[in-house]
Structure 1
């Protein structure tokens, strides 16, 4: 997919350069760069999710208002 995106950008830049309009090439390149920056931001924002502590079993506390009775027979 990345190769197709690069090829499309290259063809669009070459077509824009032939017609004398470099603004279109800059617009396409800027759009692709903005897309990758958004994807990078999403990736970085979820990067620390795997660093949390390991889950542990919940202790039955009789003083809670609604103790967890699910699965306890």
Structure 2
């Protein structure tokens, strides 16, 4: 089986050498397009970085009926 696999790989490698395909654009064009796309995504991400600071923070109401209460407030939350 290994010999058959080796023969198939060598045949595929020979066929790949015969059918060389040129890229439609320079590799620098591809690199520039990818870099521009990533910069655009970075700018979109950075534009949402200050969304949490738009409104003043209000204290959280403690609900005794909540199944999993947040026990990380160290007793600083408003209790009714």
TM-score, scaled to structure 1? 0.42
Taking CA–CA contacts closer than 8 Å with sequence separation of 6 or more, which of the two structures ends up with the larger relative contact order?
A: 2
| Larger CA Rg, structure 1 vs 2 | 2
Structure 1 or 2: more helix by fraction = 1
